[in-house]
Each structure stands twice: as structure tokens, then as C-alpha cells.
Amino acid sequence: MKKISAYWLCQIGGWSTYVLLWIFFYYTIRTKPSPFFFPMLSFDTITGLGTTHLMRIFIKRSKILDQDIRKQIIAIFSTTLFFSFIYALVIIWVNQLMQWEADQMTQYTFWNKVVRAWYGYFLFLLIWNFIYFTYHYVEKTRKEKLDKIRLESLVKELELKTIKSHINPHFIFNALNSIRALVDENPERARTAITELSNILRSSMQAEKIEMAPLERELNIVKDYLELEHIRFEDRLMVEYDIDEDTLDQEIPPMMLQTLVENAIKHGISKQISGGKIKIVSDFIKDHLELTVQNTGALSAARSPEGFGIVSTQNRLKLLYGDKASFDIKNVNGNMVEAKVILPVANI
């Protein structure tokens, strides 16, 4: 059995209370019977229910709730004015048509009656709108706080897992052995490699402190990582960059690009006997920033959509941008895997 939504429960409950109150007042404080009281009340209630529902549809389609609070307040009054006028116009017209009016109302003109009714219905619908907007404002605020908590939790989890992968004994062993081999052979390169390793570890530990970082900063971290890996893979690792300089100041989630490149090394290059190529591309496509990481290899079960790097990227994009960002990973050109992130750009 389909469950009734909270909205309709509130509508039914509210208008039922409205009917009961009018009936209570009719039987307790009336001075004389009104033969058309119940037909008028029934029509008034049905018209009110329809008016408030149409008003809700208008509010949702106009996306008033997505605007800032000041515009929402203005929208409350303007929307209430319009729909309360329609409400009053219909009620007065039908009452006159059906001759349901009380004797004392016959002295007023049609438009005078409409204006008098308009005032009353305006106050009533204003209360309805106030409750409706307050509910959604509280819900939106609660959801934003919940999303922020989830994002902070995800960033911390990403940071911990990233640090763990970087200080993994196997990784440290390979990096230090590579540096050790360079100490006598190429001391300058060894010093540079130590700096690169230090930059990677420092960046991992700083990821928790920031939500967004310039692409240029993230790209420098990736370059340090790839330079360090090049010592291990030597000629088996080829790196190509195709970076639009105008994209370097764009803000992206920290360590996101690094995660995609690590996946490319782990699941792509390291699996190839003869090595392969990694290509990193950034460009503006229409009003979006497009980041692409390509690597030699093939998408397999070992690099499935359930992997931590892919899942964390998808979750972060969802929390930060909603439906305005996207992530996709697929095989391209026969022997390449492409991971692509598309981010919204406020100003280009």
C-alpha cells in the first residue's frame, strides 16, 4: 500500500481543522441560522485546498525555494497576494451565482466583496506559506549541515587512506631504494627525489585542512609523484601533459587528481611488461572544466567502479557539486583507459 506523503497529511489535517473550527464557531457564537453554511463551507474548503496545491506547484516550478532568503520573503508576499485574490474572486463569484450570501452582504458591490474577502484570505494563505517556507528552510539547512558533515567525514577518510598508501612500507621501500641508488650516481637527482617524496607526504597530510585547491597546486603534486615513480619505472613510464594554462587557477577537490593518477600507475602502467604512457589533460569545454587522466592498459575487474579511488571521487563530486559535476572511466582507443572528471566553472 502506497504511503501518503507528509505534504498531503498536512494538507488534509490542516483543512480538516479549518472545517472543524468553522463548525465549532457556527454552533457556539452564531446569532441566527445560515441555511447555506455547509454548502459554502464545503466549497470554500475544496477551493482552498485546490488553491494551496496550485500555489505549491507554482512555488516548486518557479524554484523559489532555491533563491536566497531575501528573495524568498518577497516571493512569499507576492505569491500570497496573487493566489489569495484568485481564491477570493472564485468564492465571491460562486456565492453570488448560487445565492449563498447572507442578507447583510447584499449591500456591497461585487468588487467590494472581493476586496474584503481578499484581505481575509491573504492573511490565511500567508500563514500557510509561512509554515510551508519555514519547513523547507529548516529542511534545507538541516540537509546542508548533514552534507557538510558527510563531506568532512569523506575528506578525512580519503586523507587517511591516501596517507596510508603513501607511507605504506612497500612504497617507502621502493622510493628510498631508488633514492639510495642515486646518491652516488646522481646526488643532485637524489636530493630532488627526497624533496618530491617530502612534498607528496606533506600534501597528503594537508588534504584534511582544505576543501578546494587550485589545479596548479594539485598538478605540481602529481608531477612530483610521477617524477618519483619515473625513477622506479625508468623508460617504462612516459608522461604527457596537455594543460590549458587558463585552467590552472580553477579550484578542484584536493588530492582528487592525485588519486586518479595513482590508480593509473597501480592498475595500468605497473601491469604492463613494457610499461606505458600516462597523459593528463585539462581544458575548458563550454562552461565546464574537464580533467582527463589516460593510461596504457585496459579496464578490468581489478579496477572496477567499486574501487576506493573511484568511489571516493564520485562521492566527493556528488557532495560538492550535486548533479553539476560528473565522473566517468572507460576503455578508449583499444589500449587506453580514460578517467574523466567534469566540473562546473563559475567564471571563465
pLDDT tens figures, 24-74 = 988 888 777 788 888 888 999 999 999 999 999 998 898 888 888 888 888
Residue 292: pLDDT band with limits 50, 70, 90:
very high
- Domain around 27: 6-145
- Written as nine digits, the cell of 87 is 481564491
Evaluate whether residue 213 is within a structural domain: yes
Residue 295 in grid coordinates: 593510461
Judge if 112 and 232 occupy the same domain. Answer: no
Residue 338 phi, psi dihedral angles, 5° rounding: -120, 125
Residues 188 and 304 both lie in one domain: yes
How many separate domains does the chain show? 2
pLDDT digits (tens, 9 = 90+) for 239-288: 999 999 999 999 998 888 988 888 888 888 888 888 899 999 999 998 89
Is-contact 46 91, C-beta < 8 A? no
Same domain flag for 139 and 171: no
Asked if residue 160 belongs to a domain, the reply is no
* pLDDT band of 166, cuts 50, 70, 90: very low
Quick one: 281 and 132 in the same domain?
Answer: no
Q: How far is CA 310 from CA 256, 282, 315, in A?
A: 10, 19, 9
- The mean pLDDT value for 86-101 works out to 87
pLDDT at residue number 279: 95
Q: Give which of 132, 180, 155, 107 is closest to 317, Cα–Cα.
A: 155
Query: Same domain, yes or no, for 127 and 214?
Result: no
158 occurs within a structural domain = no
If one counts every other C-beta atom within 10 angstroms of the C-beta of residue 136, the result is: 15
Which amino acid, 7? Y
Total-model pTM: 0.52
Q: Are residues 134 and 179 in the same domain?
A: no
12 with 140, same domain: the answer is yes
Say how far apart CA 339 and CA 279 lie, in whole Å. Answer: 11
Shared-domain flag, residues 265 and 330? yes
18 and 53, same domain (yes or no): yes
Residue 126 lies in a domain: yes
Q: Final residue of a domain: which of 95, 111, 145?
A: 145
